[in-house]
Amino acid sequence: MRLVTTKQLAVMVIFAALYFVLNFIAPINIPTTVGTLQISFAALIATIFGIILGPYLGAGAALLGATVSWSLTGMSPYGLPFIFAPVLNALVSGFVFYRKWKWGFLAFAAMMIVFLLTPPVTPLSDNWYIALAVLFDKVITLALILPVALFGKKISVVHGAAFFFLLGFIGNQADNMWGSMVYALPGVYTNIFGFDLAAVRLQFLATPFLYPAIRLVEAIIVMVIAVPLWQTLKNTPWIWNRDNILSDERKLKKETDPDQLASAKA
């Protein structure tokens, strides 16, 4: 059995092109009392990549789309560090959706640990409030991965849309965690953006609730897109693997069990 079919590769290229097109759509700007909520369609669509294409092809589609978009829009140094943000979205979403949640959990946790070792946060004893401002919602997200992975089927039975909302939130939080982590590196905030350490610390403290609010809105949009799309594609060969959180395990076992197949043919 091939791990990747021609159809899946075709969908990967199509999704990469979709990312490229969405990148040219102006983001939605929602003014609030704490700042402007900026919703990027290209960024949030990476969760859909993980759901349909799985963690690896989904991440590949996001990387291809983001790289082409960056290359054809001037190759700005400001965007280069964040090319992998949608990749992490698709990767973590795909891992959770296709029963590899431990890898998604580890990838998310690893980014949090790296962030805690960056100059804006170290020494942690003196800058704990910066870590709290950036990571409080990420800790909540990390805690959500296990119940979503273990009880996603039950959540979908009660309210299918809620499952995709939670998965969309997790994926887009992974995107944001990459952005926070890479921005906290001296080579990025100093050499690319020209900020000193004090300025970066103030930026992390400026609007601690703004980015979680953005991820919530993005999760709602993911939910609206994912529910009908999954209903259309779930029983087709276009999805990465039939074995996922929402699959019927008994039906899947019957379809793949050699003894069951032999008896059915007889």
User: How many CB atoms neighbour CB 249 within 10 A?
Assistant: 9
Structure tokens belonging to residue 52: 């349909």
Q: Provide mean pLDDT across the span 20-34.
A: 68
Evaluate if residue 116 carries a pLDDT over 50: yes
If we measure between CA atoms, which residue out of 31, 27, 32 comes closest to residue 45? 27
List domains and CATH numbers for the chain: 6-265 (1.10.1760.20)
Task: Give the pLDDT score at 241.
Answer: 84
Structure tokens belonging to residue 216: 């919530």
Q: Provide mean pLDDT across the span 17-34.
A: 71
For 95, the enclosing helix (H) or strand (E) is helix 85-97
- 230-248 burial string, b = 16+ CB within 10 Å, else e? beeeeeeeebbebebbbbe
| Range name among 32-36, 120-124, 143-147 with the lowest pLDDT average | 32-36
Task: Give the pLDDT score at 253.
Answer: 53
Q: Provide mean pLDDT across the span 88-106.
A: 95
| Range name among 70-84, 105-119, 219-233, 235-249 with the lowest pLDDT average | 235-249
The per-residue pLDDT for range 147-206, each reduced to its tens digit, is: 998 887 887 766 778 899 999 999 999 999 999 999 999 999 999 999 999 999 998 998
Q: Provide mean pLDDT across the span 11-32.
A: 78
Task: Give the pLDDT score at 37.
Answer: 56
Q: Per this entry, what is the length of the chain? A: 266
Please state, rounded to an integer, the average pLDDT across all residues of the chain. 85
